């Protein structure tokens, strides 16, 4: 495997997924790396950086610290920063060099917690997987550590939204649109993981009757919450009129039966290809299938697609295999940075995402929950 | 507009009066913050200065992310490719094979064969003890028509030996091949931005009939190669000095460093020494100091007691600029820098004794995340980071010295200060653009 890309971009990495998922929750998040990761994340992957204060930092690892295994420098720096900044929690996430040196994230987190009395996490991200992996780890950790075990189920129908990060949804207001959908469907929203909710909101998540997983970054947290509170989950994003109806029905079924639901269309046909993260792409594919009456194929280049993709969908990561899949389609829906490898005879419909093109096309990222009809017109 | 939800209630200031500051590190190092000011260049921008060059980065996804989007944002995605290092490559010990086969695969798939390929390896190759010599030998053997330059994205080495900035500025000239030296040809090297036509250096060279080569003016690879005919290599940016020395040793020309400065004595010393080496008449500085005093007076008359903040991204001499302005009666209150460079030691000591109340602030200290002004101010900022931290639209938007040099740098800076005082700019939007002025380097 050559693992090459001649011209296309690369997805945001696991370490940035951790930062994105925890950004709003009041903790110090440290990327354990030499330099560069912090400016990459804050420039390209974090649209909230300028307007919403947070505590995302880099450790500034040096060659000698890495060779000598000087973890004390990192621990001391974190403890000093925590004394100044009083975070709600501390999270340390890994990059390639700590991976090579066998850095023990859990042990370091335990030491930091012991010294500061502040809850601390260690995420052994490697910088070699996509944001889906990192954000999943982070949200799952929050579910296991901060969701209050003593919370009782609410007397009214309630739900949490899991898997909300700007990497999948930018700052288009999708979190509010999904909230509106749930409220229209008869569910009060307890928490949104993790855009527009506080750590206190998230701690009440166990009281919900159902969890709605809107991207694969929320799936691990959904499983953890089910394990801890017995809460069933529904996978899907409310896009398009018919898909919304199916999702609404699935939410009520899950809440009443306790069984997980995954409403997705599966019509035959492969003329349209959607490239992107599994849950959002499958939701879009379903909505298009309901509108067009023909099948839509999904190609997922990120992790988190296990058990979600249908038999005709694809899992591919590198440029050549993606290019090959594009050749078989008549229409491709993908981030604009995929356009250079799209064959001339194939219609290309832009669907920008921060996870692939960062801030470049931010103004053109649609909110598909409210804007599906206009988008579908471009495709069909 | 998003709202603040997580800020600590109070964060203590981390500024320190220069009178109490230590050289060269006034601040304790710790966790590092990245401000939104992005105008300075990175190794992708700099590498693109070589006309027709194709860049190939071999790194993990987290490292690729920033560089691939840098290239895309500057409209140079067609000159940029990647080879992704995965965990299995670390475990299997096949890093050399990954680089060779990955680079070869990309070259074979390019629509047009580039004359030069910059291959950037990273920290993981350094730590894995990767045999880079063997890699380049093999690549040169497979593609004899391509010049390969070994470039590096290994920030972990920033405290060991040459900094990544020094290294990149030296690699920029590695593809130059020896050719007969042409009398009267000079190359201005190591600056990302083109020298301004009216700066003292360019004027001196032009007035004395030198043929000037500069990478920013090269339209194709052959023009770039012509730089190797230079009799003299002149650098003006501190990080370019090691590269200039290497170039001189390899190709045979003479390297001269003419430092960027705001100090009249140093300016005259640097240009006079250059004239001596070039064997041309010493420049005439008659009346220049009086002109500087006049320009300072005029600018002061306009800006009066307006608070001024300076940062290190504006030029390599933030303290030198503070000294010039403070001595002339300007109300310079803050200088933003994380370390004091050796070149600035004299200015540091002078300010410590003569203007001890001048405040120094770091830019990467963790607390700086919360110490930018929340409400807009009228501070006159010189540099993007100073503008951000003071939340002002009155700022001089220049990075890395902006191609200025000599007395011209003083006059130009004062003119830009006047302009910034009179007119507002959209600070928020402007400072977030990466690689200010790189628009012309990606054709």
Which band of pLDDT confidence, cut at 50, 70 and 90, is reported for residue A1?
Answer: low
The whole-number pLDDT of residue B7 equals 56
Q: Return the percentage of chain A with pLDDT > 90, whole number.
A: 94
Q: Which listed CATH number (3.90.226.10, 3.40.50.1980, 3.90.180.10, 3.40.50.2000) goes with A158-257? A: 3.40.50.1980
In this predicted model, what pLDDT tens digit does every residue of A314-327 receive, in sequence order? 999 999 999 999 99
For the domain spanning B185-278, the CATH number is 3.40.50.1980
- Rounded distance between C-alpha atoms, residue B366 and residue B178, angstroms: 48
- Side-chain half-sphere CA neighbours of A311 within 13 A: 4
Torsional class of A273: left (φ above 0), alpha (ψ -120 to 50), beta (otherwise): beta
CA-based max dimension of chain A? 62
The answer to whether A84 and A28 are in contact (CB under 8 A) is no
The average confidence (pLDDT) of chain A is: 96
Query: Do A360 and B72 make contact, defined as CB atoms within 8 angstroms?
Result: yes
The answer to whether A136 and A222 are in contact (CB under 8 A) is no
Q: Which residues sit opposite B150 in a β-bridge?
A: B119
CB-based contacts of A347: which residues, under 8 Å, 6+ apart?
A330, A331, A332
Residue A38 at interface with chain B, using a CB cutoff of 8 Å: yes
Q: If chain B, 443 residues long, is cut into consecutive pieces of 10 residues, what is the mean pLDDT of each piece?
A: 54 94 96 95 96 97 96 96 94 92 97 97 91 97 98 81 88 96 96 96 98 97 97 96 94 96 98 98 97 98 98 98 98 98 98 98 96 96 98 98 98 98 97 86 47
List all residues of chain A from 111 to 130 with a beta carbon under 8 Å from chain B. 126-130
The least confident of A97-101, A154-158, B354-358, B414-418 is: A97-101
Q: Which residues sit opposite B23 in a β-bridge?
A: none
E strands along A27-105, which residues? 28-31, 55-58, 90-93
Q: Which two tokens stand for residue B174?
A: 């590695």
Give, in order, the Cα–Cα distances in Å from B163 to each of B44, B153, B173, B250, B300.
16, 11, 17, 21, 38
Give, in order, the Cα–Cα distances in Å from A225 to each of A106, A160, A169, B180.
22, 10, 23, 73
Query: Do A66 and B127 make contact, defined as CB atoms within 8 angstroms?
Result: yes
**Sequence-ordered alpha helix ranges (H) in B116-219:** 123-127, 132-142, 164-171, 200-207
Query: CA nearest B433 in A: which residue?
Result: A43
Q: Which two tokens stand for residue B271?
A: 């240009």
The whole-number pLDDT of residue B8 equals 67
Domain parsing of chain A, residue ranges:
14-129, 158-257, 272-379
Average pLDDT over residues A98-127: 96
In this predicted model, what pLDDT tens digit does every residue of A8-58 receive, in sequence order? 999 999 999 999 999 999 999 999 998 888 999 999 999 999 989 899 999
The whole-number pLDDT of residue A328 equals 95
ipTM over 0.90: yes
CB-based contacts of A116: which residues, under 8 Å, 6+ apart?
A78, A79, A82, A83, A90
CA nearest B122: which of A96, A9, A62, A124? A96
CA nearest B324: which of B393, B407, B202? B407
The whole-number pLDDT of residue B173 equals 96
Handedness of CA A279, A281, A282, A284 (dihedral sign): positive
CA nearest A166: which of A329, A352, A321? A352
Residue A344 at interface with chain B, using a CB cutoff of 8 Å: no
Q: Which residues sit opposite B116 in a β-bridge?
A: B53, B147
The answer to whether A375 and A368 are in contact (CB under 8 A) is yes
The answer to whether B439 and B74 are in contact (CB under 8 A) is yes
Q: Distance (Å) from the C-alpha of residue B157 to the closest C-alpha of chain A?
A: 6
- Rounded distance between C-alpha atoms, residue A177 and residue B397, angstroms: 39
The least confident of A147-151, A195-199, B156-160, B336-340 is: B156-160
The whole-number pLDDT of residue B438 equals 85
A197: chain B residues, CB-CB within 8 Å: none
The whole-number pLDDT of residue B4 equals 43
Residue A358 at interface with chain B, using a CB cutoff of 8 Å: yes
**Nearest by CB: B98 against A3, A58, A88:** A3
In this predicted model, what pLDDT tens digit does every residue of B377-409 receive, in sequence order? 999 999 999 999 999 999 999 999 999 999 999
CATH 3.40.50 fits A272-379, yes or no: yes
* N-terminal to C-terminal alpha carbon distance within chain B: 37
Q: Which two tokens stand for residue A43?
A: 């420039």
Give, in order, the Cα–Cα distances in Å from B28 to each of A11, A77, B35, B389.
35, 10, 18, 19
CB-based contacts of A160: which residues, under 8 Å, 6+ apart?
A189, A190, A191, A192, A193, A205, A208, A211, A212, A225, A231
B185-278 shares the fold of B51-171? yes
B372: chain A residues, CB-CB within 8 Å: none
The whole-number pLDDT of residue A161 equals 98
Which site among B6, B100, B113 would you substitute to test the A interface, given the most A Cβ atoms closer than 10 Å to its Cβ? Answer: B6
Q: Which two tokens stand for residue B193?
A: 């931005």
The whole-number pLDDT of residue B125 equals 92
Is the peptide bond prior to B24 cis by the omega test (within 30 degrees of 0)? yes
Structural Rg of chain A based on CA atoms: 21
Which band of pLDDT confidence, cut at 50, 70 and 90, is reported for residue A67?
Answer: confident
CA nearest A96: which of B216, B123, B385, B280? B123
CB-based contacts of A302: which residues, under 8 Å, 6+ apart?
A11, A130, A131, A132, A216, A276, A277, A278, A355
Domain parsing of chain B, residue ranges:
16-37+286-437, 51-171, 185-278
CA nearest B318: which of B183, B210, B409? B409
CA nearest A91: which of A27, A34, A147? A27
- Rounded distance between C-alpha atoms, residue B134 and residue B140, angstroms: 10
Query: Do B63 and A96 make contact, defined as CB atoms within 8 angstroms?
Result: yes
Query: CA nearest B153 in A: which residue?
Result: A36
The whole-number pLDDT of residue B9 equals 64
Query: Do A128 and B109 make contact, defined as CB atoms within 8 angstroms?
Result: no
A44: chain B residues, CB-CB within 8 Å: 65-66, 69
**Residue B212 φ then ψ, to 5°:** -100, 125
Average pLDDT over residues A294-300: 96
For the domain spanning B51-171, the CATH number is 3.40.50.1980
**Nearest by CB: A97 against B30, B105, B156:** B156
**Nearest by CB: A6 against B62, B106, B127:** B106
The whole-number pLDDT of residue B159 equals 73
Query: Do A30 and B157 make contact, defined as CB atoms within 8 angstroms?
Result: no
Which site among A29, A30, A63, A83 would you substitute to test the B interface, given the most B Cβ atoms closer than 10 Å to its Cβ? Answer: A63
CA nearest A94: which of A104, A83, A82, A84? A104
List all residues of chain A from 359 to 378 with a beta carbon under 8 Å from chain B. 360
Is the peptide bond prior to B375 cis by the omega test (within 30 degrees of 0)? no
CA nearest B333: which of B6, B9, B13, B4? B13
Give, in order, the Cα–Cα distances in Å from B405 to each of B170, B218, B263, B274, B336.
21, 21, 11, 13, 22
- Rounded distance between C-alpha atoms, residue B100 and residue B105, angstroms: 8
Neighbours of B233 (CB within 10 A): 27
DSSP labels, B60-98: -HHHHHHHHHHHHHTT-GGGEEEEE--HHHHHHT-HHHH
- Rounded distance between C-alpha atoms, residue B75 and residue B37, angstroms: 20
For the domain spanning A14-129, the CATH number is 3.40.50.1980
CA nearest A354: which of A61, A141, A19, A41? A41
- Rounded distance between C-alpha atoms, residue A301 and residue A348, angstroms: 18
The whole-number pLDDT of residue B162 equals 84
Query: CA nearest A83 in B: which residue?
Result: B11
Report the DSSP pairing between strands B80-84 and A4-5: antiparallel
- Rounded distance between C-alpha atoms, residue B215 and residue A100, angstroms: 38
Query: Do B101 and A2 make contact, defined as CB atoms within 8 angstroms?
Result: yes
């Amino acid at each position: 495997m050559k693992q090459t890309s001649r011209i296309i971009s690369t997805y945001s990495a696991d370490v940035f997924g951790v930062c994105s998922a925890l950004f709003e929750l009041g903790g110090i998040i440290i990327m354990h790396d030499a330099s560069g990761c912090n400016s990459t994340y804050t420039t390209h992957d974090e649209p909230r950086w300028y307007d919403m204060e947070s505590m995302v930092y880099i450790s500034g690892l040096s060659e000698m610290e890495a060779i000598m295994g000087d973890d004390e420098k990192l621990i001391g720096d974190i403890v000093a920063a925590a004394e100044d900044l009083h975070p709600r929690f501390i999270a340390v996430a890994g990059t390639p060099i700590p991976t090579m040196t066998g850095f023990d994230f859990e042990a370091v987190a335990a030491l930091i917690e012991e010294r500061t009395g502040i809850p601390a996490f260690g995420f052994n991200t490697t910088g070699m997987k996509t944001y889906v992996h990192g954000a999943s780890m982070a949200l799952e950790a929050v579910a296991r550590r901060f969701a209050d075990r003593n919370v009782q189920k609410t007397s009214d129908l309630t739900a949490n939204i899991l898997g909300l990060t700007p990497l999948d949804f930018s700052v288009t207001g999708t979190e509010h649109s999904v909230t509106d959908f749930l409220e229209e469907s008869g569910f009060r929203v307890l928490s949104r993981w993790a855009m527009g909710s506080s750590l206190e909101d998230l701690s009440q998540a166990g009281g919900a009757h159902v969890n709605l997983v809107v991207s694969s970054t929320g799936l691990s947290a959904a499983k953890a919450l089910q394990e801890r509170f017995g809460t069933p989950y529904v996978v899907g994003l409310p896009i398009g009129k018919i898909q919304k109806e199916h999702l609404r029905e699935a939410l009520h079924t899950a809440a009443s039966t306790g069984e997980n639901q995954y409403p997705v269309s599966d019509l035959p046909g492969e003329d349209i290809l959607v490239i992107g993260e599994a849950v959002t792409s499958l939701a879009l594919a379903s909505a298009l299938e309901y509108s067009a009456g023909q099948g839509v194929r999904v190609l997922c280049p990120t992790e988190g697609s296990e058990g979600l993709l249908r038999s005709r969908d694809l899992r591919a990561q590198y440029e050549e295999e993606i290019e090959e899949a594009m050749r078989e389609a008549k229409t491709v829906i993908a981030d604009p940075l995929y356009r250079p490898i799209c064959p001339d005879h194939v219609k290309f419909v832009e669907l920008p995402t921060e996870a692939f093109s960062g801030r470049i096309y931010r103004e053109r990222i649609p909110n598909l929950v409210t804007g599906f009809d206009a988008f579908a017109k471009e495709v069909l | 507009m998003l709202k603040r939800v997580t800020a600590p209630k109070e964060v203590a200031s981390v500024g320190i009066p220069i009178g109490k500051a230590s050289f060269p590190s006034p601040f304790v190092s710790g966790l590092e913050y990245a401000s939104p000011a992005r105008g300075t260049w990175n190794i992708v921008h700099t590498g693109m200065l070589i006309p027709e060059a194709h860049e190939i980065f071999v790194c993990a996804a987290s490292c690729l992310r920033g560089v691939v989007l840098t290239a895309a944002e500057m409209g140079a995605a067609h000159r940029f490719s990647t080879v992704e290092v995965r965990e299995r490559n670390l475990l299997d010990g096949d890093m050399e094979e990954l680089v060779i086969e990955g680079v070869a695969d990309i070259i074979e798939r390019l629509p047009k064969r580039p004359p030069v390929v910059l291959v950037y390896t990273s920290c993981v190759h350094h730590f894995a003890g990767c045999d880079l010599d063997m890699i380049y030998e093999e690549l040169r053997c497979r593609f004899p028509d391509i010049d390969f330059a070994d470039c590096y994205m290994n920030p972990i080495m920033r405290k060991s030996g040459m900094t990544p900035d020094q290294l990149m500025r030296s690699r920029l000239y590695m593809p130059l091949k020896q050719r007969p030296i042409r009398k009267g040809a000079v190359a201005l090297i190591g600056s990302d931005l083109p020298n301004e036509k009216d700066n003292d250096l360019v004027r001196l060279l032009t007035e004395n009939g030198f043929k000037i080569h500069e990478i920013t003016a090269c339209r194709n690879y052959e023009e770039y190669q012509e730089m190797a005919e230079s009799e003299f290599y002149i650098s003006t940016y501190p990080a370019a000095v090691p590269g200039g020395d290497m170039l001189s040793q390899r190709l045979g020309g003479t390297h001269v460093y003419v430092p960027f400065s705001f100090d009249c004595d140093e300016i005259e010393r640097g240009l006079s020494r250059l004239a001596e080496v070039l064997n041309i008449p010493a420049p005439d500085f008659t009346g220049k100091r009086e002109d500087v005093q006049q320009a300072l007076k005029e600018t002061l008359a306009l800006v009066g007691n307006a608070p001024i903040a300076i940062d290190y991204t504006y030029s390599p001499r933030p303290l030198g600029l503070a000294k010039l302005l403070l001595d002339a009666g300007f109300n310079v209150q803050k200088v933003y820098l994380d370390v004091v460079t050796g070149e600035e030691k004299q200015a540091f000591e002078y300010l410590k004794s003569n203007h001890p109340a001048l405040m120094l602030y770091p830019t990467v200290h963790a607390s700086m995340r919360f110490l930018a002004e929340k409400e807009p101010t009228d501070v006159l900022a010189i540099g993007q980071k100073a503008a951000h931290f003071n939340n002002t639209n009155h700022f001089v938007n220049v990075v890395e010295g902006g191609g200025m040099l000599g007395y011209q740098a003083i006059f130009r800076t004062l003119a830009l200060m006047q302009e910034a005082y009179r007119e507002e700019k959209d600070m928020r939007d402007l400072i977030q653009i990466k690689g200010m002025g790189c628009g012309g380097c990606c054709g």
